[in-house]
A and B are shown apart, each in its own frame.
Chain A
Amino acid sequence: MQRMDRTALAARVARDIPEGAYVNLGIGAPTMVANYLPQDKEVFLQSENGLLGMGPAPAEADIDWELINAGKQPVTLLAGGSFFHHGDSFAMMRGGHIDICVLGAFQVSVHGDLANWHTGAPDAVPAVGGAMDLAIGARQVFVMMDLLTKAGESKLVEKCTYPLTGLACVSRVYSDVAVFSVGPEGARVIEMVPDMTLEELRGMTGLPLEMA
Protein backbone atom coordinates (compact mmCIF):
# COMPACT_ATOMS: atom_id res chain seq x y z
CA MET A 1 0.00 0.00 0.00
CA GLN A 2 1.34 3.40 -0.99
CA ARG A 3 0.41 6.03 1.59
CA MET A 4 0.31 9.62 0.41
CA ASP A 5 2.86 11.81 2.15
CA ARG A 6 2.14 15.43 3.06
CA THR A 7 3.13 16.80 -0.33
CA ALA A 8 1.17 14.20 -2.29
CA LEU A 9 -1.84 14.90 -0.09
CA ALA A 10 -1.49 18.66 -0.61
CA ALA A 11 -1.35 18.07 -4.36
CA ARG A 12 -4.44 15.85 -4.17
CA VAL A 13 -6.44 18.54 -2.31
CA ALA A 14 -5.26 21.17 -4.80
CA ARG A 15 -6.80 19.14 -7.66
CA ASP A 16 -10.27 19.69 -6.16
CA ILE A 17 -9.98 23.48 -5.99
CA PRO A 18 -11.56 25.05 -9.08
CA GLU A 19 -10.49 28.25 -10.78
CA GLY A 20 -12.10 31.32 -9.26
CA ALA A 21 -12.55 29.80 -5.82
CA TYR A 22 -12.00 31.96 -2.73
CA VAL A 23 -9.95 29.73 -0.46
CA ASN A 24 -8.56 29.89 3.05
CA LEU A 25 -5.77 27.46 3.87
CA GLY A 26 -5.33 26.67 7.56
CA ILE A 27 -2.07 26.83 9.46
CA GLY A 28 0.37 23.92 9.02
CA ALA A 29 0.01 21.22 6.36
CA PRO A 30 -2.97 22.91 4.60
CA THR A 31 -0.70 25.86 3.75
CA MET A 32 1.22 23.48 1.45
CA VAL A 33 -1.82 23.17 -0.84
CA ALA A 34 -0.88 26.59 -2.25
CA ASN A 35 2.25 25.08 -3.80
CA TYR A 36 0.18 22.72 -5.96
CA LEU A 37 -2.51 25.01 -7.32
CA PRO A 38 -2.20 25.03 -11.12
CA GLN A 39 -0.23 28.06 -12.33
CA ASP A 40 -2.57 28.62 -15.27
CA LYS A 41 -5.68 29.01 -13.11
CA GLU A 42 -6.58 31.92 -10.83
CA VAL A 43 -7.53 30.94 -7.28
CA PHE A 44 -7.99 33.61 -4.61
CA LEU A 45 -6.22 32.82 -1.35
CA GLN A 46 -7.53 34.61 1.72
CA SER A 47 -5.63 34.91 4.99
CA GLU A 48 -7.67 35.84 8.06
CA ASN A 49 -5.16 38.42 9.23
CA GLY A 50 -6.33 40.65 6.42
CA LEU A 51 -5.29 39.82 2.91
CA LEU A 52 -6.88 38.46 -0.24
CA GLY A 53 -4.81 37.51 -3.25
CA MET A 54 -1.99 36.02 -1.24
CA GLY A 55 1.08 34.99 -3.20
CA PRO A 56 4.01 32.68 -2.46
CA ALA A 57 6.81 33.27 0.04
CA PRO A 58 9.13 36.16 -0.86
CA ALA A 59 12.86 36.01 -1.53
CA GLU A 60 14.87 36.55 1.66
CA ALA A 61 15.66 40.15 0.70
CA ASP A 62 11.97 41.00 0.22
CA ILE A 63 10.67 39.75 3.57
CA ASP A 64 8.28 42.25 5.15
CA TRP A 65 6.98 41.41 8.65
CA GLU A 66 3.87 43.43 7.93
CA LEU A 67 3.06 41.08 5.05
CA ILE A 68 2.56 37.70 6.72
CA ASN A 69 -0.01 34.91 6.65
CA ALA A 70 -2.09 33.57 9.54
CA GLY A 71 0.79 31.27 10.47
CA LYS A 72 2.95 34.42 10.80
CA GLN A 73 5.15 33.42 7.84
CA PRO A 74 6.22 36.06 5.28
CA VAL A 75 4.15 36.01 2.08
CA THR A 76 3.60 38.24 -0.96
CA LEU A 77 0.57 39.97 -2.44
CA LEU A 78 -0.43 39.26 -6.03
CA ALA A 79 -1.41 42.04 -8.43
CA GLY A 80 -5.09 42.66 -7.64
CA GLY A 81 -4.66 41.66 -4.00
CA SER A 82 -6.10 43.69 -1.15
CA PHE A 83 -5.76 44.41 2.56
CA PHE A 84 -8.64 44.73 5.04
CA HIS A 85 -9.36 44.79 8.76
CA HIS A 86 -10.48 41.90 10.95
CA GLY A 87 -14.16 42.81 10.82
CA ASP A 88 -14.15 42.46 7.04
CA SER A 89 -11.95 39.40 7.16
CA PHE A 90 -14.32 37.46 9.40
CA ALA A 91 -17.36 38.73 7.48
CA MET A 92 -15.77 36.98 4.49
CA MET A 93 -15.76 33.72 6.46
CA ARG A 94 -18.88 33.93 8.57
CA GLY A 95 -20.87 35.47 5.75
CA GLY A 96 -20.31 32.48 3.47
CA HIS A 97 -18.04 34.28 0.99
CA ILE A 98 -15.19 31.79 1.30
CA ASP A 99 -15.84 28.84 -1.02
CA ILE A 100 -13.39 26.36 0.47
CA CYS A 101 -11.26 26.17 3.56
CA VAL A 102 -8.71 23.45 4.19
CA LEU A 103 -8.01 22.56 7.81
CA GLY A 104 -6.15 19.98 9.84
CA ALA A 105 -8.01 17.90 12.43
CA PHE A 106 -7.67 15.73 15.52
CA GLN A 107 -10.95 14.03 14.66
CA VAL A 108 -13.77 14.27 12.13
CA SER A 109 -17.07 12.48 12.62
CA VAL A 110 -18.89 10.66 9.83
CA HIS A 111 -21.50 13.44 9.98
CA GLY A 112 -18.93 16.16 9.49
CA ASP A 113 -18.37 17.33 13.07
CA LEU A 114 -14.86 18.72 13.43
CA ALA A 115 -12.48 18.64 16.41
CA ASN A 116 -9.25 20.49 15.73
CA TRP A 117 -8.60 23.13 18.39
CA HIS A 118 -8.18 21.44 21.75
CA THR A 119 -7.09 18.03 22.95
CA GLY A 120 -9.18 18.45 26.07
CA ALA A 121 -6.15 17.81 28.27
CA PRO A 122 -6.84 19.60 31.57
CA ASP A 123 -3.39 21.22 31.76
CA ALA A 124 -3.36 22.47 28.14
CA VAL A 125 -3.36 26.21 27.54
CA PRO A 126 -6.22 26.49 25.06
CA ALA A 127 -6.04 28.55 21.85
CA VAL A 128 -8.69 28.68 19.15
CA GLY A 129 -7.79 31.46 16.71
CA GLY A 130 -10.02 31.50 13.64
CA ALA A 131 -10.71 27.74 13.52
CA MET A 132 -14.33 27.92 14.68
CA ASP A 133 -15.17 30.78 12.32
CA LEU A 134 -13.66 29.00 9.33
CA ALA A 135 -15.32 25.71 10.22
CA ILE A 136 -18.85 27.08 10.19
CA GLY A 137 -18.36 29.90 7.70
CA ALA A 138 -16.75 28.42 4.61
CA ARG A 139 -19.15 26.87 2.09
CA GLN A 140 -17.06 23.71 1.99
CA VAL A 141 -14.61 22.52 4.63
CA PHE A 142 -11.92 20.09 3.49
CA VAL A 143 -9.91 18.33 6.16
CA MET A 144 -6.38 17.07 5.51
CA MET A 145 -5.10 14.50 7.97
CA ASP A 146 -3.54 11.10 8.48
CA LEU A 147 -6.31 8.56 8.89
CA LEU A 148 -4.75 7.08 12.02
CA THR A 149 -3.11 8.63 15.07
CA LYS A 150 0.41 7.59 15.98
CA ALA A 151 -1.20 5.14 18.39
CA GLY A 152 -3.15 3.62 15.48
CA GLU A 153 -6.59 5.00 16.35
CA SER A 154 -8.85 6.22 13.57
CA LYS A 155 -9.32 9.99 13.38
CA LEU A 156 -12.44 9.45 11.28
CA VAL A 157 -14.94 8.50 13.96
CA GLU A 158 -18.63 7.84 14.57
CA LYS A 159 -18.64 10.61 17.19
CA CYS A 160 -15.83 12.99 18.19
CA THR A 161 -14.44 12.56 21.69
CA TYR A 162 -12.27 15.70 21.54
CA PRO A 163 -13.87 19.13 22.12
CA LEU A 164 -15.69 20.24 18.96
CA THR A 165 -14.71 23.11 16.69
CA GLY A 166 -17.95 23.02 14.73
CA LEU A 167 -20.98 20.82 14.13
CA ALA A 168 -21.72 19.18 10.75
CA CYS A 169 -19.31 21.46 8.93
CA VAL A 170 -16.81 19.18 7.13
CA SER A 171 -17.68 17.94 3.65
CA ARG A 172 -14.53 16.02 2.70
CA VAL A 173 -11.66 14.29 4.40
CA TYR A 174 -8.39 13.87 2.49
CA SER A 175 -6.34 11.28 4.34
CA ASP A 176 -3.06 9.57 3.57
CA VAL A 177 -4.86 6.40 2.44
CA ALA A 178 -8.28 7.49 1.16
CA VAL A 179 -10.54 10.41 0.37
CA PHE A 180 -13.94 10.43 2.10
CA SER A 181 -17.12 12.42 1.86
CA VAL A 182 -18.81 13.04 5.21
CA GLY A 183 -22.17 14.57 6.03
CA PRO A 184 -25.82 13.81 6.82
CA GLU A 185 -25.61 10.42 5.08
CA GLY A 186 -22.44 9.44 6.91
CA ALA A 187 -18.99 8.69 5.53
CA ARG A 188 -18.42 7.33 2.01
CA VAL A 189 -15.17 6.43 0.31
CA ILE A 190 -14.45 8.51 -2.80
CA GLU A 191 -11.08 6.99 -3.64
CA MET A 192 -8.31 4.91 -2.13
CA VAL A 193 -4.57 4.68 -2.63
CA PRO A 194 -3.41 1.74 -4.79
CA ASP A 195 -3.65 -1.66 -3.06
CA MET A 196 -5.99 -0.34 -0.38
CA THR A 197 -9.28 -2.23 -0.02
CA LEU A 198 -12.63 -1.22 1.40
CA GLU A 199 -12.33 -4.12 3.84
CA GLU A 200 -9.00 -2.81 5.07
CA LEU A 201 -10.40 0.71 5.50
CA ARG A 202 -13.31 -0.70 7.48
CA GLY A 203 -10.80 -2.44 9.71
CA MET A 204 -8.71 0.69 10.22
CA THR A 205 -11.69 2.90 11.06
CA GLY A 206 -14.12 0.46 12.62
CA LEU A 207 -16.76 2.10 10.43
CA PRO A 208 -19.20 0.35 8.04
CA LEU A 209 -17.80 2.24 5.04
CA GLU A 210 -19.17 2.00 1.49
CA MET A 211 -17.96 3.51 -1.77
CA ALA A 212 -19.54 6.83 -2.72
Chain B
Amino acid sequence: MINKIVDSMAEAVAGLQDGAAIMISGFGDAGAPAELIEAVIAQGATDLTIISNNAGAGEVGIAALMKAKRVRKVICSFPRQNGSHHFEARYRAGEVELELVPQGNLACRIEAAGAGLGAVYTPTGYGTLLAEGKETREIDGRHYVLEYPIHADFALVKARAADRWGNLVYRKVARNFGPIMARAARTTVVQVAEIVELGALDPETIVTPGIFVNRVVLSSAPATA
Protein backbone atom coordinates (compact mmCIF):
# COMPACT_ATOMS: atom_id res chain seq x y z
CA MET B 1 0.00 0.00 0.00
CA ILE B 2 1.36 3.37 -0.98
CA ASN B 3 1.14 6.02 1.68
CA LYS B 4 2.92 9.34 1.09
CA ILE B 5 1.68 10.76 4.36
CA VAL B 6 4.44 11.23 6.90
CA ASP B 7 3.89 11.68 10.61
CA SER B 8 5.91 14.77 11.37
CA MET B 9 7.30 17.97 9.89
CA ALA B 10 10.80 16.63 10.68
CA GLU B 11 10.16 13.53 8.60
CA ALA B 12 8.76 15.72 5.83
CA VAL B 13 12.08 17.54 5.34
CA ALA B 14 14.39 14.62 6.12
CA GLY B 15 17.32 14.26 3.76
CA LEU B 16 17.60 17.95 2.96
CA GLN B 17 21.29 18.65 2.41
CA ASP B 18 23.51 21.68 2.78
CA GLY B 19 23.67 23.60 -0.49
CA ALA B 20 20.23 22.39 -1.63
CA ALA B 21 17.94 24.42 -3.88
CA ILE B 22 14.47 24.73 -2.36
CA MET B 23 11.33 26.04 -4.03
CA ILE B 24 8.84 27.56 -1.60
CA SER B 25 5.25 28.25 -2.65
CA GLY B 26 3.42 31.40 -1.66
CA PHE B 27 2.63 34.94 -2.72
CA GLY B 28 3.29 36.89 0.42
CA ASP B 29 1.77 34.79 3.21
CA ALA B 30 -0.94 33.23 1.03
CA GLY B 31 0.20 29.69 0.26
CA ALA B 32 3.46 29.92 2.21
CA PRO B 33 4.20 26.62 4.00
CA ALA B 34 5.27 28.19 7.29
CA GLU B 35 5.49 24.95 9.26
CA LEU B 36 7.68 23.23 6.66
CA ILE B 37 10.02 26.22 6.69
CA GLU B 38 10.22 26.00 10.49
CA ALA B 39 11.09 22.33 10.05
CA VAL B 40 13.93 23.25 7.68
CA ILE B 41 15.32 25.64 10.29
CA ALA B 42 15.13 22.90 12.92
CA GLN B 43 16.65 20.34 10.55
CA GLY B 44 19.75 22.47 10.16
CA ALA B 45 20.54 22.48 6.42
CA THR B 46 22.40 25.61 5.39
CA ASP B 47 23.92 27.33 2.36
CA LEU B 48 20.51 27.04 0.72
CA THR B 49 19.24 28.52 -2.54
CA ILE B 50 15.63 29.68 -2.11
CA ILE B 51 13.36 29.95 -5.14
CA SER B 52 10.20 31.82 -4.26
CA ASN B 53 8.24 34.88 -5.33
CA ASN B 54 9.29 36.87 -2.27
CA ALA B 55 12.31 36.87 0.01
CA GLY B 56 10.36 36.83 3.25
CA ALA B 57 8.71 39.48 5.40
CA GLY B 58 8.19 39.78 9.12
CA GLU B 59 9.69 37.15 11.39
CA VAL B 60 8.37 33.80 10.16
CA GLY B 61 8.70 31.73 7.00
CA ILE B 62 11.46 32.69 4.59
CA ALA B 63 12.30 35.71 6.78
CA ALA B 64 13.15 33.32 9.62
CA LEU B 65 15.43 31.33 7.29
CA MET B 66 17.18 34.60 6.41
CA LYS B 67 17.50 35.56 10.05
CA ALA B 68 18.98 32.14 10.83
CA LYS B 69 21.59 32.75 8.09
CA ARG B 70 20.76 29.56 6.20
CA VAL B 71 20.40 31.17 2.80
CA ARG B 72 23.19 31.73 0.27
CA LYS B 73 21.10 32.76 -2.71
CA VAL B 74 17.56 33.89 -3.47
CA ILE B 75 15.89 33.56 -6.87
CA CYS B 76 12.73 35.67 -6.75
CA SER B 77 10.73 38.46 -8.36
CA PHE B 78 9.82 40.71 -5.45
CA PRO B 79 12.29 40.69 -2.54
CA ARG B 80 11.56 44.24 -1.35
CA GLN B 81 8.31 44.67 0.53
CA ASN B 82 6.98 45.80 3.88
CA GLY B 83 8.86 43.89 6.55
CA SER B 84 11.58 42.39 4.32
CA HIS B 85 14.28 43.68 6.69
CA HIS B 86 15.92 40.29 7.31
CA PHE B 87 16.50 39.77 3.60
CA GLU B 88 17.65 43.36 3.09
CA ALA B 89 20.14 43.16 5.95
CA ARG B 90 21.73 39.96 4.56
CA TYR B 91 21.66 41.31 1.02
CA ARG B 92 23.30 44.62 1.92
CA ALA B 93 25.92 42.76 3.96
CA GLY B 94 26.76 40.78 0.81
CA GLU B 95 25.86 37.50 2.51
CA VAL B 96 22.97 36.65 0.22
CA GLU B 97 23.12 36.66 -3.56
CA LEU B 98 19.99 37.82 -5.39
CA GLU B 99 18.89 36.63 -8.82
CA LEU B 100 16.00 38.93 -9.67
CA VAL B 101 13.58 37.36 -12.17
CA PRO B 102 10.38 38.86 -13.58
CA GLN B 103 7.47 37.00 -12.00
CA GLY B 104 6.24 35.45 -15.24
CA ASN B 105 9.74 34.33 -16.17
CA LEU B 106 10.08 32.78 -12.72
CA ALA B 107 6.84 30.91 -13.40
CA CYS B 108 7.78 29.77 -16.91
CA ARG B 109 11.30 28.72 -15.89
CA ILE B 110 9.81 26.61 -13.09
CA GLU B 111 7.24 25.22 -15.54
CA ALA B 112 10.02 24.43 -18.03
CA ALA B 113 11.86 22.42 -15.39
CA GLY B 114 8.75 20.46 -14.49
CA ALA B 115 7.89 19.83 -18.14
CA GLY B 116 11.37 18.67 -19.11
CA LEU B 117 12.12 21.55 -21.48
CA GLY B 118 15.70 22.62 -22.13
CA ALA B 119 14.89 26.35 -22.10
CA VAL B 120 12.23 28.85 -23.09
CA TYR B 121 12.22 31.95 -25.29
CA THR B 122 10.24 34.58 -23.41
CA PRO B 123 9.39 38.12 -24.53
CA THR B 124 9.43 39.39 -20.94
CA GLY B 125 12.45 41.47 -20.03
CA TYR B 126 13.74 41.93 -23.57
CA GLY B 127 15.79 45.12 -23.79
CA THR B 128 15.99 45.54 -20.02
CA LEU B 129 18.68 45.18 -17.35
CA LEU B 130 17.30 41.76 -16.42
CA ALA B 131 18.10 40.38 -19.87
CA GLU B 132 21.61 41.78 -20.07
CA GLY B 133 24.11 39.29 -21.44
CA LYS B 134 21.40 36.78 -22.29
CA GLU B 135 20.90 35.19 -25.68
CA THR B 136 18.04 36.70 -27.70
CA ARG B 137 16.22 35.71 -30.84
CA GLU B 138 13.72 37.33 -33.17
CA ILE B 139 10.83 35.01 -33.99
CA ASP B 140 8.06 36.20 -36.32
CA GLY B 141 9.06 39.81 -35.78
CA ARG B 142 9.08 39.70 -32.01
CA HIS B 143 12.09 39.68 -29.70
CA TYR B 144 12.62 36.96 -27.12
CA VAL B 145 15.14 36.21 -24.38
CA LEU B 146 16.47 32.70 -23.81
CA GLU B 147 15.81 31.67 -20.21
CA TYR B 148 16.83 28.37 -18.63
CA PRO B 149 14.73 26.12 -16.41
CA ILE B 150 14.95 26.37 -12.63
CA HIS B 151 15.20 22.97 -10.96
CA ALA B 152 15.14 22.28 -7.26
CA ASP B 153 16.10 19.51 -4.86
CA PHE B 154 13.05 20.16 -2.71
CA ALA B 155 9.74 21.95 -3.21
CA LEU B 156 7.88 23.00 -0.08
CA VAL B 157 4.24 23.55 -0.96
CA LYS B 158 1.08 24.41 0.95
CA ALA B 159 -2.21 22.89 -0.20
CA ARG B 160 -5.65 22.58 1.33
CA ALA B 161 -6.17 18.83 1.18
CA ALA B 162 -4.43 15.66 0.06
CA ASP B 163 -5.04 11.92 -0.03
CA ARG B 164 -2.42 9.25 0.65
CA TRP B 165 -1.41 9.13 -3.04
CA GLY B 166 -0.52 12.82 -2.86
CA ASN B 167 -3.36 14.19 -4.99
CA LEU B 168 -3.85 17.83 -4.07
CA VAL B 169 -6.45 20.56 -4.03
CA TYR B 170 -5.64 24.12 -3.02
CA ARG B 171 -7.52 27.01 -1.47
CA LYS B 172 -8.25 30.29 -3.28
CA VAL B 173 -5.15 32.32 -4.18
CA ALA B 174 -2.99 30.22 -1.86
CA ARG B 175 -2.61 28.00 -4.96
CA ASN B 176 -0.22 30.44 -6.73
CA PHE B 177 3.17 28.72 -7.29
CA GLY B 178 2.24 25.40 -5.63
CA PRO B 179 1.18 23.38 -8.69
CA ILE B 180 4.14 24.42 -10.85
CA MET B 181 6.73 24.02 -8.09
CA ALA B 182 5.40 20.59 -7.21
CA ARG B 183 6.38 19.47 -10.72
CA ALA B 184 9.84 21.01 -10.76
CA ALA B 185 11.57 19.50 -7.73
CA ARG B 186 13.21 16.15 -7.13
CA THR B 187 11.38 15.84 -3.80
CA THR B 188 8.05 17.62 -3.33
CA VAL B 189 6.76 17.96 0.20
CA VAL B 190 3.28 19.29 0.87
CA GLN B 191 1.81 20.76 4.03
CA VAL B 192 -1.97 20.34 4.07
CA ALA B 193 -4.80 21.40 6.35
CA GLU B 194 -6.72 18.18 5.75
CA ILE B 195 -6.02 14.59 4.78
CA VAL B 196 -8.86 12.76 3.11
CA GLU B 197 -9.57 9.17 2.15
CA LEU B 198 -8.43 7.95 -1.23
CA GLY B 199 -11.31 8.59 -3.63
CA ALA B 200 -12.73 11.47 -1.63
CA LEU B 201 -11.22 14.10 -3.93
CA ASP B 202 -13.24 14.58 -7.11
CA PRO B 203 -10.89 13.48 -9.92
CA GLU B 204 -12.29 16.31 -12.09
CA THR B 205 -11.06 18.89 -9.61
CA ILE B 206 -7.70 17.51 -8.47
CA VAL B 207 -5.24 20.29 -9.28
CA THR B 208 -1.96 18.46 -8.67
CA PRO B 209 -2.01 14.73 -9.46
CA GLY B 210 -0.07 12.64 -6.94
CA ILE B 211 2.69 11.78 -9.43
CA PHE B 212 4.22 15.19 -8.64
CA VAL B 213 4.14 14.70 -4.87
CA ASN B 214 6.49 12.68 -2.66
CA ARG B 215 5.50 13.48 0.90
CA VAL B 216 2.41 14.90 2.57
CA VAL B 217 2.24 16.16 6.12
CA LEU B 218 -0.72 17.43 8.13
CA SER B 219 -0.46 21.00 9.34
CA SER B 220 -1.30 21.70 12.96
CA ALA B 221 -2.95 24.98 11.91
CA PRO B 222 -6.75 24.78 11.84
CA ALA B 223 -8.33 24.16 8.45
CA THR B 224 -10.28 26.98 6.83
CA ALA B 225 -13.37 26.17 4.81
Asked if A90 contacts B103 (CB within 8 A), the reply is yes
Choose one: A47, A87, A126; the contact of B80 (CB below 8 Å): A126
A127–B177 contact, CB under 8 A?
no
Assess the B104–A130 pair: CB atoms within 8 A. yes
Given A66-B224, A84-B175: A125 and B31 within 8 A (CB)?
Answer: no
| Contacting pair B104 A49 (CB below 8 A) | no
Q: How many angstroms from the CA of A87 to the CA of B176 in the assembled complex?
A: 8
Tell yes or no: B100 within 8 A of A by CB.
yes
CB pair A128–B78 under 8 Å, yes or no, is yes
B130 touching A128, Cβ below 8 Å = yes
Distance of A67 Cα from B28 Cα, bound (Å) = 12
Q: Give the docked Cα–Cα distance between A133 and B91 (Å).
A: 25
Provide the A79-101 mask, 1 if CB < 8 A to any CB of B, else 0.
00001111101100110000000
Interface class of chain A by DSSP: loop
In the complex the two chains form, is A118's CB within 8 Å of B129's CB? yes
Distance of A137 Cα from B122 Cα, bound (Å): 11
Total residue contacts A-B, CB cutoff 8 A: 134
A146 to chain B, nearest CB (A): 23
Residue B18 lies at the interface, judged by CB distance under 8 Å to chain A: no
Which listed residue (B78, B111, B174, B224) contacts A129, Cβ 8 A? B78
Tell me which of A31-39, A160-168, A181-189, A202-210 binds B. A160-168
Chain B residues with CB below 8 A from A137, complex form: 104, 123-124
**Minimum distance in angstroms from A77 CB to a CB of chain B:** 8
B91, B111, B224 — most chain A CB neighbours (10 Å): B111
Interface positions of B from 173 to 211, Cβ below 8 Å from A: 173-180, 207
Does A132 lie at the interface of the complex (its beta carbon under 8 Å from any beta carbon of B)? yes
Mask, B78-98, CB within 8 Å of A = 1, is: 111100100110011000001
B81 in contact with A66 (CB, 8 Å)? no
B107 at the A/B interface (Cβ < 8 Å)? yes
B30 and A68 contacting across the interface, CB-CB below 8 Å: yes
Q: Which residue of A lies closest to B143 (CB)?
A: A167
A63–B104 CA distance with the chains assembled, in angstroms = 27
A15 CB–B CB distance under 8 Å? no
Most buried by B among A64, A65, A90: A90
Given A94-B123, A125-B80, CB of A163 within 8 Å of CB of B128: yes
In the complex, which residues 98-154 of chain B have their Cβ closer than 8 Å to any Cβ of chain A? 98, 100-108, 110-111, 122-130
Query: Are the CB atoms of B179 and A132 closer together than 8 Å?
Result: no
Complex CA distance for A66 and B118, rounded to whole angstroms: 34
List chain B residues, Cβ under 8 A from A13.
Answer: none
Indicate if the CB atoms of A66 and B103 lie closer than 8 Å: no
A127 and B104 contact, Cβ closer than 8 Å, known pairs A67-B172, A83-B175: no
* Known contacts A83-B175, A131-B102, A166-B127: A89-B107 contact under CB 8 Å: yes
Q: What residue in chain B is nearest A49 (Cβ atoms)? A: B27
Of chain B, the residue at the smallest CB distance from A118 is: B129
Flag if A90 contacts B108 (CB, 8 Å): yes
Which 7 pairs, one residue from A and one from B, show the smallest C-beta to C-beta distance? A133-B104, A90-B104, A127-B80, A132-B102, A130-B103, A85-B179, A86-B107
**Interface residues, chain B, CB within 8 Å of chain A?**
27-31, 53, 77-81, 84, 87-88, 91-92, 98, 100-108, 110-111, 122-130, 170-180, 207, 224
Contacts A64-B172, A86-B53, A86-B106 aside, 4 further interface pairs with beta carbons under 8 A come to A87-B110, A128-B101, A133-B104, A137-B123
